[in-house]
Amino acid sequence: MARINLSIRLGPMVHFEVQGQNCEEIATALAGFERLNETVDAMFSDLARRVYPDDERQAEEKAP
């Protein structure tokens, strides 16, 4: 039976692959993807704030 290979890149440092025999297996494997995406976004946003603290201050000053 054919296998489905799905490759997903969330950013320059995060990449994962999902494999399954059918769409149902892939859908089950991706059930937590939204939570994973939120977690990765939070981690890299925190990292960006630590590496570029001045950029965040400038964005706050420009906000209405």
**4-49 pLDDT, tens per residue?**
888 888 777 778 888 899 988 888 888 877 887 788 788 888 888 8
**For the whole prediction, is pTM greater than 0.75?**
no
Nearest to 36 by CA among 8, 62, 4, 12: 8
Q: How far is CA 40 from CA 15, 22, 30, 52, 64, in A?
A: 11, 27, 15, 18, 28
Please report which helix (H) or strand (E) contains residue 29, including its range: helix 23-29
Would the pLDDT of 1 be above 80?
no
Number of structural domains the chain divides into? 1
Q: Which two tokens stand for residue 46?
A: 């925190």
Host domain of residue 45: 4-62
